C-alpha cells in the first residue's frame, strides 16, 4: 500500500520560488532500476490526482518522484506573473532543476495529459539519461485537441450543448448552469468514476482556488481553450525523440485517437495501448491494469542503453 512506503518531501528553489517534491521509496528497492518521474496535467492541476501512480515504487522496486509544478499545489504560486511567463520551456527547465537537485542522472518519465505534452517537450531536446517516455492521455497539438473536443461535444444532449453555447457567447462561464453542462462532458470523457475519486477532487479544488496557470495556459475548461497553449504543437518535432515511447489512452478519452496518433506515427520507437472502457483518467479508472502496462514497459528499458 502507498501509505506503508517511505515518503519524503522537499522544496527545490526555482525561478524565485520553490517547487514541492515528493519521493516515494520502495520498501524493497531493486538494484539497477531507474527512478520514475511523474508529470501531472492541467496545466496547474497539482499532483494529487496522479498520486496513486506512486504504487509503482513497491510494485517495481524503484523510487517514484512526483512534484507540483510551479504555480500550483504546494509549490510557489505566481498569480501576478505576466502571461508570457507561462510557457512550456518554463516547465522543462523546472523538471531538470528538480532532477539535478535530486542527483538523478538516468530515469524514466511519465506524463499524464498536459504532463505527457511536457514529457514530449523534454524528450525532443534529447536529454542525457532519459531511458523511456510514457505519454498518457495527451494530444500532440492543441488544434487536434480542440477538433476532437468539438466532435465529442456534438454528442452531448441538445440542452447541454445549448447551455454551453449560450454561456460561452455571453462570457458567463462561471454560471452554475454552464458548470453543470461541463460536468456532463467530464463524466463522459474525463473521469467516468462515480463518485469522483477524492484525489481528483483535491487537485480540482486547489486549481479552482487559484486558477492562474490553468486559465492562462488552457482556459476555463477542457474544451474551451483560449490560453497560451492554444496554438501549441509538437508534431513537427516528434522525430527528434530517441527514447522508447509508450502512448496510453482510454476508449472514451477526450484525447481521442486523432490527437495522440502523431506520437505513434512520428516517434521512431513508439507504440500505443488503449484501455477499453476508460477515459482521460485511465490511471484512476483502471489503476491496477494501468500500472501493470507501465511496469512492463519500464522493465523493458531499465537496462537498455540510454540514447542521447
Active-site residue set: 113, 253, 280
Grid coordinates of 142: 492543441
Return the number of other C-beta atoms located less than 10 Å from residue 170's C-beta.
10
Distance CA 279, CA 103 (A): 35
The HSE-up count of residue 102 (CA atoms within 13 Å, CB side) is: 28
CA distances from 118 to 37, 134, 151 (A): 12, 11, 25
Distance CA 179, CA 182 (A): 5
Q: List the 130-136 sheet strands across, edge first.
A: 7-14, 17-24, 64-68, 36-39, 107-112, 130-136, 245-250, 270-275
CA distances from 202 to 54, 57, 73, 209, 271 (A): 17, 22, 10, 11, 32
The HSE-up count of residue 223 (CA atoms within 13 Å, CB side) is: 27
H or E segment to which residue 275 belongs: strand 270-275
DSSP 8-state symbol, 141: B
Distance CA 192, CA 294 (A): 21
Grid coordinates of 97: 532543476
Measured over all CA atoms, what is the biggest interatomic distance in the chain, rounded to whole angstroms? 59
Amino acid at each position: 500500500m502507498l501509505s506503508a512506503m517511505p515518503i519524503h518531501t522537499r522544496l527545490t528553489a526555482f525561478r524565485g520560488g520553490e517547487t514541492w517534491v515528493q519521493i516515494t521509496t520502495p520498501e524493497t528497492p531493486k538494484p539497477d532500476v531507474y527512478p520514475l518521474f511523474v508529470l501531472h496535467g492541467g496545466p496547474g492541476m497539482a499532483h494529487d490526482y496522479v498520486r496513486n501512480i506512486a504504487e509503482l515504487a513497491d510494485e517495481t522496486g524503484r523510487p517514484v518522484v512526483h512534484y507540483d509544478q510551479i504555480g500550483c499545489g504546494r509549490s510557489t504560486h505566481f498569480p501576478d506573473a505576466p502571461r508570457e511567463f507561462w510557457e512550456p520551456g518554463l516547465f522543462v527547465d523546472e523538471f531538470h532543476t528538480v532532477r539535478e537537485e535530486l542527483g538523478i542522472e538516468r530515469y524514466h518519465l511519465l506524463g499524464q495529459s498536459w504532463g505527457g505534452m511536457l514529457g514530449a517537450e523534454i524528450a525532443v531536446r534529447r536529454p542525457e539519461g532519459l531511458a523511456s517516455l510514457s505519454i498518457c492521455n495527451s494530444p500532440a497539438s492543441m488544434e487536434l485537441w480542440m477538433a476532437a473536443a468539438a466532435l465529442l461535444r456534438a454528442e452531448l444532449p441538445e440542452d447541454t450543448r445549448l447551455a454551453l453555447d449560450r454561456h460561452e457567447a455571453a462570457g458567463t462561464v462561471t454560471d452554475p448552469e454552464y458548470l453543470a453542462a461541463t460536468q456532463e462532458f467530464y463524466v463522459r470523457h474525463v473521469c467516468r468514476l462515480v463518485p469522483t475519486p477524492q484525489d481528483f477532487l483535491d487537485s480540482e479544488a486547489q486549481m479552482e482556488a487559484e486558477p492562474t496557470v490553468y486559465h492562462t495556459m488552457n482556459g476555463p475548461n477542457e474544451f474551451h481553450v483560449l490560453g497560451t497553449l492554444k496554438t501549441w504543437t509538437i508534431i513537427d518535432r516528434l522525430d527528434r525523440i530517441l527514447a522508447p515511447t509508450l502512448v496510453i489512452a482510454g476508449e472514451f478519452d477526450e484525447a481521442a485517437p486523432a490527437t495522440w496518433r502523431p506520437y505513434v506515427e512520428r516517434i521512431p520507437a513508439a507504440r500505443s495501448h488503449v484501455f477499453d472502457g476508460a477515459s482521460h483518467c485511465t490511471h484512476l479508472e483502471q489503476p491496477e491494469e494501468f500500472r501493470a502496462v507501465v511496469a512492463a514497459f519500464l522493465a523493458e528499458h531499465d537496462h537498455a542503453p540510454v540514447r542521447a
